Amino acid sequence: MDRLRSNIFPLVLGILALLAAGFALWWYLEGRHWQATDNAYVEADIAVIAAKVPGYVARVDVADNQPVKAGDALVHIVDADYRAALARADAQVEQLARARGAAGARAVAQSRGIAEAQAALRAAEAGARRAAADAGRAENLLKLGFATRATVDARRAEAEAAAAAVVQGQAAVAAAQAGRDAASADTGGAGAALKAAIAARDAAALDLENTVIRAPYDGVVGNRTVRPGQFARQGQQLMVVVPVAQAFLVANFKETQIRGMKPGMPVEVELDAYPGQPLSGRIDSFSPASGSRFSIIPPENATGNFTRIVQRVPVKILFDHPLPEGVRLTPGTSAEVRVDLRRTPGE
């Protein structure tokens, strides 16, 4: 018995030495190539559904936890006021379109009036030249004794009247051009007003369209607080849509673990909700800063007592699809992640 007792200690020591040697060999060949963390959570780009226009809720088309497709109607807001606003905007557009048409017609008429005034001016100038020539010939004939003074005076009066007609024609051309410029200005002003009215009509049409709130993408309705009959303020949260199929994982590795990790590197995942059910995924990207940098009050190590703490770096991981049958990704649930640094991206 004493001999047996004396041999137990060396035997136990030998077993412990073998276990330590085995662990060291395993760590050297396998363990040192793996990085793992249980600080990982399923996340999703959850869409907060809010009212774009204020109004009373006429109908809610979805129930809690209901799957929806992109474009499905979620909530209807009473649209009577918005339809009336669109009708007023349509009427304003029609009125200003007619006003612009009338202004354009006046501008065309003024352009034609300019052409007529210019033609009359050319005729008056031709008559003035003829009358001046007749007056000159009458004076020559008077000098030769073949004409009377009365005839010369009549020809001079005709020349002066023709010259006055030229001045009148020039004034008519100037007046017609001024009228055309004014009509063109009216046309431009009516056009600008019409553009503003069209923009207002488009805004009214958009407001009317926004009375029907639709799902931005495929997902599941959650946190539904809207009820028929309540008043929805602009920007008020009514529900959320969770794109469960596009859920991903955020694993918070220690800063000492991310060396050697690369985008595209395969990972092994086990969700706490489905123990013993291995999932696969791939590293998508790394956070541009540690998790503490995005906290409400980031730590400031330059002040106070400094304590060195290993920081966590969020790593985004995408799941490989299709998922095993019966596995459902639920944002907010926990997971464990393991990365084999020997594996290459895309493997």
> What is the per-residue pLDDT across 220-265, written as a single tens digit (0 to 9) for each?
999 999 999 999 999 999 999 999 989 999 999 999 888 889 999 9
Q: Give the Cα separation of 292 and 99 in Å (integer).
A: 63
Name which residue leads in pLDDT, 248 or 152.
Answer: 248
Query: Tokens 């008519």 identify what position?
Result: 172
Q: Which two tokens stand for residue 90?
A: 């349509």
Going along the chain from its start, the domains and CATH numbers come out as 33-46+243-340 (2.40.30.170), 48-76+211-240 (2.40.50.100), 80-209 (1.10.287.620)
Is the CB of residue 316 less than 8 Å from the CB of residue 253?
Answer: no
Work out whether strand 248-254 and strand 73-77 pair parallel, antiparallel, or are unpaired: unpaired
Confidence (pLDDT) at 128: 65
pLDDT at residue 1 above 60?
no
Confidence (pLDDT) at 284: 94
Q: Which of 102-111, 243-252, 279-288 has the lowest mean pLDDT?
A: 102-111
Confidence (pLDDT) at 130: 75
pLDDT at residue 160 above 60?
yes
- CB atoms under 10 Å from CB of 197, counted, come to 19
User: Cα-Cα-Cα-Cα dihedral of 310, 314, 320, 323, to 10°?
Assistant: 90
pLDDT at residue 135 above 90?
no
Angle between helices 80-144 and 149-209 (to 10 degrees): 170
DSSP three-state, residue 56 = strand
Nearest to 337 by CA among 248, 260, 256, 259: 248
- CB atoms under 10 Å from CB of 19, counted, come to 10
Is the CB of residue 244 less than 8 Å from the CB of residue 258?
Answer: no
Q: Give the Cα separation of 262 and 332 in Å (integer).
A: 25
Query: Tokens 């276990």 identify what position?
Result: 19
pTM: 0.67
pLDDT at residue 286 above 60?
yes
Q: Give the Cα separation of 278 and 42 in Å (integer).
A: 15
> What is the per-residue pLDDT across 179-214, written as a single tens digit (0 to 9) for each?
666 656 556 666 777 888 889 999 999 999 999 999
Highest mean pLDDT: which of 99-103, 189-193, 288-292? 288-292
pLDDT at residue 175 above 80?
no
Q: What is the rounded average pLDDT of the residues 8-18?
A: 71
pLDDT at residue 141 above 80?
no
Contacts of 45 by beta carbon, 8 Å cutoff, 6+ apart: 243, 246
Confidence (pLDDT) at 44: 93
pLDDT at residue 22 above 70?
no
Confidence (pLDDT) at 26: 56
DSSP three-state, residue 322 = coil
How long a stretch of residues is the chain?
A: 347
